Amino acid sequence: MSKLNSIPGEVAATSEIEIIAPNPSEYIPVNVPPFVDTNNQTDIIKLHLEAEPPQPLLFIGYKGTGKTLAFASVAYQLKIPIIQADLSENTKRGDLIGRFILRGSDVVYQLGILPSAILIANSVGKAILVLEELNALTPQMQKVLNQILDWRGQVHAPEIGKIFRLNKGCKLLIGATSNPSNYGGVFEINEDLRSRFATLWFDYPKKEDELKILHAYGSTDDNLNELLIRLAVETRKAVDRNEIEYALSPRDLVRFTQIMKIYTSKFTEEDALKKTLEIVVLGKYEDIDERQLIARRIESIFGLKIGEDLNDSENR
């Protein structure tokens, strides 16, 4: 964190309180994993960023489908700062707008996420703010976002007598991610907040795109890749039929191939596959009926018996 007056284009603080503002260069991503564009998402993000004014964009979709990565990969490509705010039900107004804190014996004002993002965009010219897990915010905190998202495009911090605005020509794309509301999310997104975003649904990728994702992460064994995708698709269908609660995501499949690679350096190919299936797939399920169902699907797809304890309990 640096002092506010080190950021070009920012008006001087009117109060005597020192304002602690972020250092923009820290927000330029240095290492972002590959993103496979399954539905022109990166083009859409860029169009929303370049629009005048930039148009807020909300991605709703299941876990591990690349929502966060899509925003990060655009920031990485364009070499612009990205402020990723992990929201939760404990996020307070002080986190969003700012709060007084003690530094030594001095009281200073630490800017929250929203004015920080404006200052970073003013400093660099372009930036992306991503509000992660928007539906985890309490309804009251969702209201705090309204002012930056509508025609006002500003953040008011009355306690220090300042309004933060974007400088002319500077662009800040406000992105957000959320899981579907039937998904154990904490809250619904208020209608007034929802109406401020253009919303793009992130579905599970098509089979050929999921294959591309696995290739992008170095999994070249297409026989294994295809079997994994088949298993994942079956878990997604089983969730739709309310037979199990957990669907395997593209993130799980990438993890699978990475863990499998580690295990093959130590075990035989078959043992490595069995162990990875046990740890990465079966381990996701606690309920005995769900474990048995998954073990049966694995046996029919991979021809491997795993979870011997399950067979014992079936025979008892």
Residues contributing to the site for Mg ion (CB under 5 A): 67-68, 177
256 binds ligand ATP (CB under 6 A): no
The least distance separating ligand ATP from the CB of residue 235, rounded to whole angstroms, comes to 15
Contact pick of 22, 29, 60, 68 for ligand ATP (by CB under 6 A): 68
225 binds ligand ATP (CB under 6 A): no
CA 96, chain centre distance (Å)? 18
Q: Rounded CA gap, 312 and 270, in Å?
A: 22
Side by side, the strands of the sheet bearing 171-178 are 82-86, 126-132, 171-178, 57-61, 198-202
Piece of the chain touching ligand ATP by CB under 6 A; list 31-39, 49-57, 134-142, 160-168: 31-39
177 binds ligand ATP (CB under 6 A): yes
- Estimate the share of the chain in helix, then strand, then coil, as percent rounded to the nearest 5: 45, 20, 35
Cβ-based nearer residue to ligand ATP, 209 or 299:
209
Q: Is the peptide bond prior to 34 cis by the omega test (within 30 degrees of 0)?
A: no
Sign of CA dihedral 89, 93, 97, 101: negative
Q: Rounded CA gap, 170 and 163, in Å?
A: 16
The least distance separating ligand ATP from the CB of residue 244, rounded to whole angstroms, comes to 18
110 binds ligand ATP (CB under 6 A): no
| Position of minimal CB gap to ligand ATP | 66
Measured from the Cβ of residue 18, the count of other Cβ atoms closer than 10 Å reads: 16
Q: Rounded CA gap, 45 and 71, in Å?
A: 7
The least distance separating ligand ATP from the CB of residue 205, rounded to whole angstroms, comes to 6
66 binds ligand ATP (CB under 6 A): yes
Which one of Mg ion, ligand ATP, none is in contact with 296 (Cβ closer than 5 to 8 A by kind)? none
Contact pick of 119, 145, 200, 213 for ligand ATP (by CB under 6 A): 213
The least distance separating ligand ATP from the CB of residue 135, rounded to whole angstroms, comes to 10
36 binds ligand ATP (CB under 6 A): yes
Which one of Mg ion, ligand ATP, none is in contact with 81 (Cβ closer than 5 to 8 A by kind)? none
- Please name every residue paired with 129 in a beta bridge, in sequence order, or none if there are none: 83, 174
The least distance separating ligand ATP from the CB of residue 217, rounded to whole angstroms, comes to 6
Cβ-based nearer residue to Mg ion, 179 or 219:
179
218 binds ligand ATP (CB under 6 A): no
Q: Rounded CA gap, 266 and 268, in Å?
A: 7
Q: Rounded CA gap, 143 and 79, in Å?
A: 31
Piece of the chain touching ligand ATP by CB under 6 A; list 50-58, 225-233, 246-254, 297-305: 246-254
Q: Are strands 106-111 and 98-103 parallel, antiparallel or unpaired?
A: antiparallel
Contact 80, 127 (CB under 8 A): yes
Tokens, residue 120: 């970073």
Which one of ligand ATP, Mg ion, none is in contact with 99 (Cβ closer than 5 to 8 A by kind)? none
Strands (DSSP E) contained in 112-202 are 126-132, 154-157, 162-165, 171-178, 198-202
Provide the mask over 182-201, with x wherever binding to ligand ATP is found by CB under 6 A and - wherever it is not. Answer: --------------------
Sites of contact with ligand ATP (CB under 6 A)? 33-36, 38, 61, 63-69, 177, 179, 213, 216, 250-251, 254
